[in-house]
Structure 1
Amino acid sequence: MRFVFKTAYDQDIDLARHNGQRFWYGLLLLAALAAPWVLPEYWLAQLTFIYIYATVGVGLMLLAGFTGQFSIGHAAFMGVGAYAEAYLTALGWPFPLAMATAVALSGAVGVVVGLPALRVKGLYLGIATLSFGFIVEEVLARWESVTGGNAGRSVVAPAIGEWKISGSENFYLLCLVCVTLSTLLVLNLLRSPTGRAFVAMRDSEISAQSMGITLSIYKSMSFAISAALAGLGGALYAHKMQFISPEQFSIIQSIDLLLMVVVGGLGSVHGAFLGAAFLIGMPQLISAAKDILPPAIGQAAGLQGVVYGAILIAFVMLEPMGMYGRWLKIRTWLQLYPFYRRGMFKRQKTFQKSDRLK
């Protein structure tokens, strides 16, 4: 195993723990940059969708995984960003200005939605965000002069003056830049006092208050940043699809986003990317399996929902740390082999909050 002996505080807050991580992350970035010239157009499109959902997932991971706030209406923030981007670009706004406005508008809506989080939490906060998702979906369906209603709205290609970002390769690179900057933003935020305050609130709100953390400010800030990143992902999603409608941002989409971070691994930025890959790749695997399965199963309605539900239950019961947690265990096992301890990965006994105070 690799042991890092830290001699300065800068080492503790560094983005990479050691030179090995710098090498592998640099190699991964080079592979991502080379993808437009290596991969076929279909797989490049799938990778673009992974980047878009990872952008949203990083924001939701900040809210759910690092702040401990529960949201079942995150697709509504995507819808706000997508429709704002579609409306402003149709008016002729430059692409960067339209996207910045869409992100800012989504962040402002996130602050409004975060206000109930100051008084409720847990299941009740989930119900509040769920209600917000229904409200936004209804507004998108009824405000026909802006959104086009249930008929949907076309989205023009992103452009800066006469220069248009056309072609799958150019748009792929745009999504890569956006997801990279979003990830660096969240990672640097988590290293700051603000990020440490988020984690303190997640672990214990009472302890956080005793240390002087104002819950109302930091909860609203967490919702705003998470909603802004969801709005950024929604704007990219609108340009990628080139057509948006209210049902694309329904409660089903919100559940998919929540499933993405849970399966990927709550409390880990890596989990957002693994969850996005799962969300995009699983329908492809299910479609491929339909040709192998018996017709009574493969052609049954709702097969995808059954598979998703079974996977979610399996992860919640058997691997609460998600795909990234499982990878950490495999990596540790490989590093220690053959000297690993049989009960090393046995789950620790959990206690109720009242038991911790004894």
Structure 2
Amino acid sequence: MRFIFKTRYEQDINLIQHGGQVFWYGVLGLVLLVAPAFVSPYVLTQLSQICIYAIVGFGLMLLAGFTGQLSLGHAAFVAVGAYTQGVLVTAGVPFFVGIVASGLFAAVVGVIVGLPALRVKGLYLGIATLAFGAIIEEIIARAEAVTGGNAGMMVPPVQLFGLRFADGPLFYYLCLAFAICACLVLVNLLRSPTGRAFVAIRDSEISAQSMGVNLAVYKTMSFAISAAFAGVAGALYAHNIRFLSPDQFTVVQSIEMIMMVVIGGLGSIHGAVYGAIFLIALPQAINAIKPFLPLFLSEATGLQPTIFGAVLILVVLFEPLGIYGAWLKTRAYFDLFPFYRQGMFRRQKAFQKSDRLK
């Protein structure tokens, strides 16, 4: 177990808490930088997709994990960013201008969704955002003059500094850079008074309001920032897939995004990354084991959603803190052995149960 002796108040908000983080994050960064030299183009494409979904996870984690607002229509924000980028880049707008416009437009849509959502919360908020996702999907399908409708829309590859950032190392590094920047933005946001207000709203809206937190302002701000993250990820997704259609942004995709942050570890930045890895890696694992399954199982159309649902049920029942929570418990076990107590994390579970009864 690591103990940090703090001598200054500023140490509580330091970006790097101790030398171990410098070492391990440095190793991780080095591995990510040299990955294109050692993996196949297919794996590199999957790594780019993980970076994109991690950005979505950061935004959704801010909204659901740190502000406590449920969203079942987050794929709609990704769609707004993807189609905005597609339309602008096709019209000749520079890449970075399109990225900024995608994030801002998605944030505006997030404000529009967040304002009516101020009057509802919990399950009713989820239903409201679910309806919003269905509306956006229908708008995309009907606006054929702009989006191409159900026929879809082609998106050109990224052109920067005279280079073509297609599906290769260059595009991977581009996605990795955006993912790192998004992570740093979220970390610094959570260390600010705004981030503390978000967490206060999640823990208790009444207590936060009594401390002077304007619920309407901060809830709307949380929706806007989360939607901006999703819009930027959608813009990168458009260049990664290079073909957009309404069936890529359905309610099923929104539910998968919620599953991503829940399974990864709700309320932790690491959980967003773990959830993105899980969401991309699980379909590949299912395809790898299909040859060893009985024929009626391997050819079943609902195999992947069934496994996703089973994993979510198991996580909710046995590991509410997700993959990151399991890692924390494993690390604590080895750090404290033989003095580890089985009920060390029971307080977090008790809080979650009482929170659901409010």
Shift of 1:301: 2.3
- The TM-score with structure 1 as length reference comes to 0.96
Q: CA separation of 1:269/1:289 partners in 2, compared to 1, >3 Å: closer, same or farther?
A: same
Q: Report Cα offsets for 1:97-142 as digits up to 9, x if no partner.
A: 0111111100110010001221110011101100100000000000
**d(CA) in 1 for partners of 2:343, 2:223:** 39
Q: What residue number does 1:251 align with? A: 251
Q: What residue number does 2:32 align with? A: 32
Asked if structure 1 preserves the Cα contact closer than 8 Å seen for 2:82 and 2:102, the reply is yes
**d(CA) in 1 for partners of 2:162, 2:356:** 64
Moved more, 19-28 or 269-278: 19-28
Asked if structure 2 preserves the Cα contact closer than 8 Å seen for 1:264 and 1:323, the reply is yes
Q: What residue number does 1:126 align with? A: 126
SS of equivalent residue, structure 1 residue 196? helix
Q: What residue number does 2:110 align with? A: 110
- Equivalent AA in structure 1 for residue 86 of structure 2: A
Q: CA separation of 1:56/1:342 partners in 2, compared to 1, >3 Å: closer, same or farther?
A: closer
**d(CA) in 2 for partners of 1:229, 1:223:** 10
Shift of 1:164: 3.1
Moved more, 113-122 or 270-279: 113-122
Q: What residue number does 2:264 align with? A: 264
The alignment status of 1:286 with 2:286, answered yes or no, reads yes
Structure 1: tracts of 5 or more residues without a match = none
Q: What residue number does 1:304 align with? A: 304
Shift of 1:163: 4.1
Asked if structure 2 preserves the Cα contact closer than 8 Å seen for 1:264 and 1:274, the reply is yes
Q: Report Cα offsets for 1:314-348 as digits up to 9, x if no partner.
A: 11111110000000000000111222224434465
**d(CA) in 1 for partners of 2:190, 2:344:** 29
- Equivalent AA in structure 2 for residue 98 of structure 1: G
Q: CA separation of 1:167/1:130 partners in 2, compared to 1, >3 Å: closer, same or farther?
A: closer
SS of equivalent residue, structure 1 residue 164? strand
SS of equivalent residue, structure 1 residue 42? helix
SS of equivalent residue, structure 2 residue 2? coil
SS of equivalent residue, structure 1 residue 291? helix
Asked if structure 2 preserves the Cα contact closer than 8 Å seen for 1:116 and 1:125, the reply is no
Q: What residue number does 1:318 align with? A: 318
Q: CA separation of 1:353/1:306 partners in 2, compared to 1, >3 Å: closer, same or farther?
A: closer
Q: What residue number does 1:206 align with? A: 206
Shift of 1:200: 0.2
1:1-358 correspondence to structure 2 within 5 Å: 1-160=1-160, 162-346=162-346, 349=350, 352=354
Asked if structure 2 preserves the Cα contact closer than 8 Å seen for 1:94 and 1:161, the reply is no
Q: CA separation of 1:354/1:39 partners in 2, compared to 1, >3 Å: closer, same or farther?
A: closer
Count of matched residue positions in the alignment of Structure 1 and Structure 2: 356
- Equivalent AA in structure 1 for residue 51 of structure 2: Y
- Equivalent AA in structure 2 for residue 211 of structure 1: M
Shift of 1:65: 0.1
Asked if structure 1 preserves the Cα contact closer than 8 Å seen for 2:166 and 2:240, the reply is no
- Equivalent AA in structure 1 for residue 189 of structure 2: L
Q: Report Cα offsets for 1:151-177 as digits up to 9, x if no partner.
A: 000000112475432351100000001
Structure 2: tracts of 5 or more residues without a match = none
Shift of 1:353: 6.6
Asked if structure 1 preserves the Cα contact closer than 8 Å seen for 2:78 and 2:230, the reply is yes
Q: Report Cα offsets for 1:46-89 as digits up to 9, x if no partner.
A: 11110000000000000000000000000000000000000000
**d(CA) in 2 for partners of 1:259, 1:85:** 26
- Equivalent AA in structure 2 for residue 122 of structure 1: G
**d(CA) in 2 for partners of 1:287, 1:162:** 38
- The TM-score with structure 2 as length reference comes to 0.96
- Equivalent AA in structure 1 for residue 159 of structure 2: A
**d(CA) in 1 for partners of 2:357, 2:110:** 35
SS of equivalent residue, structure 1 residue 28? helix
**d(CA) in 2 for partners of 1:29, 1:349:** 37
Moved more, 185-194 or 33-42: 33-42
Identity of aligned residues (%): 57
- Equivalent AA in structure 1 for residue 118 of structure 2: L
Shift of 1:296: 2.2
Moved more, 48-57 or 342-351: 342-351
Moved more, 171-180 or 34-43: 34-43
Q: CA separation of 1:292/1:47 partners in 2, compared to 1, >3 Å: closer, same or farther?
A: same
**d(CA) in 2 for partners of 1:298, 1:308:** 15
